[in-house]
Structure 1
């Protein structure tokens, strides 16, 4: 089932005059601070690594060597900064066949968008960006470049298919916000610095193997430091990426006086991505390749797009945002996301609508009121404990190594202390986490997809046993012909079913080759564990066709096997005499 929803029965209005000054939403943070801190820290990390490298190679003149290293680092960044737009142009033409158009041609497609571009460029005294259109029905938009006067603003044809003219205009205004704020240039520089750190990690790790023992140990420390800096830098970049999206939304609201149109645009973009993913035989290279640059994170499209599909009534769409706004897992998982959660963006836009004296789209006032009535005990009572379970494998190894070090210091054999103890902790963690993730599904109640997606208490850790009835409409990864994961659709939405064989990857491959193709297009009853992250999914346990044919999945099997193996090896090592 794939139906085009009716238009919003009542669109919230817009300001009579654009260009008003709006107070930035608190959730947005501070773009200048985020940019400055990110770049300063990344440069500091690169400088520290370059200094460490000089010590390793035992330069005869460390000061001169440091100066040369700094010059090379800065020169490399400068070249990458200015050359990257042209490299991106080549990639655009090769992968997506971008068509570069004039402002007049854009005006024929979206009159208000052309007006917004002309007005913003005139007010900000910047050159009109180079305008590109990609012939792809997946709705998206992104900006790249080195300087505002050499920026490129690219959208897909799907944007004009799924959005109204005023909504398209707010998307263009959002992308212009990136240009005016120069944040796209900061992102280019920050990304380059992070790549330098990763290259240092790889290079030092390889070179260290060819040095003497003392230098090799020092190289190992530098390589590990480079990798830690790389991870920290990645999360700094993600934070900067989310912050810049908030500020671009704010700019669009001020520029157009129409924050409600951008709220609708975000929801319709999610719907369009969902629709196109179901039609496609292969995954969209455009959506995958521009996920970090695009206006919307395609990974989050399932819940928002599904809600718009079944009902264009704003209050029903708004209920899906409860999880984004109030569930602590939303905050945790957002840390590794390039974009803010949709509910948070819509809430900020609703704040701007309120400042302009407008009605709020999606009845966010009611959503917030409902969220404030949620049980704080259910939301936060076990969250921090669950967070430990969520990271159980990593924490178990760390704790095991610490305990092992203490025991080794007390006289225990090093092999037992640093191998057996961590394995013992890991085995226990795997078995305990398994019981938390997969509660009994014996009496799993029947539900529907939208009800599950609207559950503000849903967790990515504690699976909710549930039975769903619907049609298997395709593979989870449409581009992988042997994929074993599937997409299930009922009358209320779509969800991914994750299949797990007892035989691991080989079993998944065989299931994808033999079973899944027979299931596609059939009505089924599925049982498993529903989970909610940035995107919702279901760990499949049993799928039954209307003809009575059953297929089992075993998502908890390898946790059990892994835990038992770890405990067995640990026990053997502990009782062994050596």
Structure 2
């Protein structure tokens, strides 16, 4: 049902884009719009992942630079029957993560330093399993296409005031068509884009929970990430709001309502769905869904990335984490 719904929404987005072209320039405008969309999607198909990673200053790491994190992603990729993706870390205090790439063979997963600092190993496993579910479901490509078409619709809408009301440009609806193209169409495109994002997030939650074997790991992680995102600003995301739908939790605000204008489902609704899944799986915590043999035997409250460097007063004696 989720795939069917996504297909319908993608069809609606495409039809809306062609409709804007028709409102601006009739049949010739519709064909020009289609050509523009094809060119933009072709460019996005090959370059969107690099662009998004660059926007957020993501740094690629390997098993020498972030051994536990890299090992965790590799094990989860094996469990998901996926090729090993590229692994990135973003130096940002807000806990968050996203996946990108046009297909599983060219995928990348990225996590912020805030996420790696604040979450336990199990919670990080839940988050990365969610991102790998997006890769497995080809959601990264779907979200790139919808974002590109939505941007193209906004671009065409800007042309509407200059060219849409002229009968010489074959606009069949005159000024009314201009108003619809310039105001209504971009809002409709935004709503369709959000609906697609929200549909895919629920599907990735479910598959991610199945990949890591523990729905409550992801549920706990979502709770912590939502609280962190609500109080810690992500300036790169604020400068590039078009990428907000890619993150596991909206990085722009601590949105609580699962309403028409939300890029993500309500976090409490997602957690409730994961609790229900855990109940049906007969698994509400407990044993690990991945090999823990690589974990360091001595580990304290500093998190999953090594022994504590905190003094009794709670102050750090030095840097810790998978990157240093």
Q: Does 2:107 align with 1:151?
A: yes
| Counterpart-to-counterpart distance in 2, 1:348 and 1:224 | 41
| Residue in 2 that maps onto 1:11 | none
Give 1:41's match in structure 2, choosing from 8, 12, 17: 12
Shift in Å, 1:215: 6.9
**SS at structure 1 position matched to 2:110:** strand
Distance 1:338 1:206 in 2: 31
Helix, strand or coil for the counterpart of 1:291?
Answer: helix
1:130 paired to 2:86? yes
In the alignment, what sits opposite 1:115? Answer: 75
User: Cα distance 1:270–1:47, how it changes in 2: closer, same or farther (>3 A)?
Assistant: closer
Query: What SS does the corresponding residue of 1:153 show, helix, strand or coil?
Result: strand
Task: Measure the CA separation in 1 of the matches of 2:236 and 2:23.
Answer: 40
Structure-2 change in CA distance of 1:344 and 1:34 (3 Å): same
Check whether the contact 1:38–1:190 (CA below 8 A) recurs between aligned residues. Answer: no
Q: Are the aligned partners of 1:111 and 1:165 in contact in 2 as well (CA < 8 Å)?
A: no
Partner of residue 353, structure 1: 278
Q: Once the 2 structures are TM-superposed, how far is the Cα of residue 47 of structure 1 from its aligned partner?
A: 2.0
Specify the alignment match of 1:76 in structure 2: 40
Q: Are residues 108 and 269 of structure 1, via their aligned partners in 2, closer, same or farther at CA, if it must alter by over 3 Å? A: same
Q: What is the TM-score when the length of structure 2 is the normalising length? A: 0.76
SS of 1:335's equivalent in the other structure is coil
Report deviation, 1:70: 3.3
Matched, 1:220 2:184: no
Query: What TM-score do the two structures reach when normalised by structure 1?
Result: 0.45
1:244 offset after TM fit, Å?
Answer: 1.0
**Deviations, residues 443-466 of structure 1 (Å, cap 9, x unaligned):** xxxxxxxxxxxxxxxxxxxxxxxx
Q: Evaluate the alpha carbon distance shift between residue 88 and residue 337 of structure 1 in structure 2; reply closer, same or farther with a 3 A threshold.
A: same
Describe how 1:164-183 pairs up with structure 2 within 5 A.
164-183=120-139
Q: Which residue of structure 1 lines up, in the alignment, with residue 191 of structure 2?
A: 235
Shift of 1:41: 1.0
Give the superposition deviation at 1:84: 2.0
Residues 387-431 of structure 1 deviation map (CA, whole Å, 9 limit, x = unaligned): xxxxxxxxxxxxxxxxxxxxxxxxxxxxxxxxxxxxxxxxxxxxx
- Gaps (5+ residues) in structure 2? 287-324
If asked which structure has higher relative contact order (CA below 8 Å, sep 6+), I would say 2
In structure 2, the partner of 1:32 is: 3
In the TM superposition, what are the counterparts of 1:535-546 in structure 2 within 5 Å? none
Q: How far apart in 1 are the matches of 2:254 and 2:39?
A: 40
Change (3 A) 1:173 1:104: farther
- CA distance change for structure 1 residues 335 and 69 in 2, over 3 Å: closer, same or farther? closer
Paired residues of 1:204 and 1:219 also in contact (CA < 8 A): no
> Per the alignment, do residues 106 and 249 of structure 1 end up closer, same or farther by CA in structure 2, a change over 3 Å counting?
farther
In the aligned structure 2, how far is the partner of 1:48 from the partner of 1:245? 28
Aligned-partner Cα distance in 2 for 1:301–1:46? 31
Retained in 1: the 8 A contact 2:216–2:285? Answer: yes
User: How much does 1:115 deviate?
Assistant: 1.6
Q: Contact (CA 8 Å) 2:25, 2:171: kept in 1 or not? A: no
Aligned pair count? Answer: 282
Equivalent residue for 1:255, pick from 211, 223, 226: 211
CA distance 1:214–1:106, change in 2 (3 Å): closer
**Partner residue of 1:139?**
95
Contact 2:96–2:251 (CA under 8 A) maintained in structure 1: no
- 1:100 paired with 2:60, answer yes
- CA deviation string 1:83-141 (max 9, x = no partner): 3223324323xxx3x21012454433464343213332xx24xx322211012222110
Measured against aligned partners, the alpha-carbon deviations of 1:328-372 in whole angstroms (never above 9, x if no partner) come to xx45xx2211111111011000011101113479xxxxxxxxxxx
- Are the aligned partners of 1:204 and 1:220 in contact in 2 as well (CA < 8 Å)? no
The residue aligned with 1:264 is 220
Q: CA deviation at 1:248?
A: 1.0
**What SS does structure 1 have at the residue aligned with 2:93?**
coil
Q: Structure 2 residue aligned with 1:85, among 46, 49, 55?
A: 49
Distance 1:297 1:71 in 2: 32
State the distance in 2 between where 1:247 and 1:69 align. Answer: 31
User: Equivalents in 2 of 1:145, 1:353: separation in Å?
Assistant: 30
Structure 1's 147 and 213: CA in aligned 2 closer, same or farther, altered over 3 A?
A: closer
| Distance in 1 between residues matched to 2:14 and 2:230, nearest whole Å | 39
In the alignment, the residues of structure 2 paired with residue 110 and residue 195 of structure 1 have an alpha-carbon distance, to the nearest angstrom, of 34
Q: CA deviation at 1:266?
A: 1.2
Q: Which residue of 2 aligns with 1:407?
A: none
Aligned to 1:308: none
Residue number in structure 2 paired with 1:293? 246
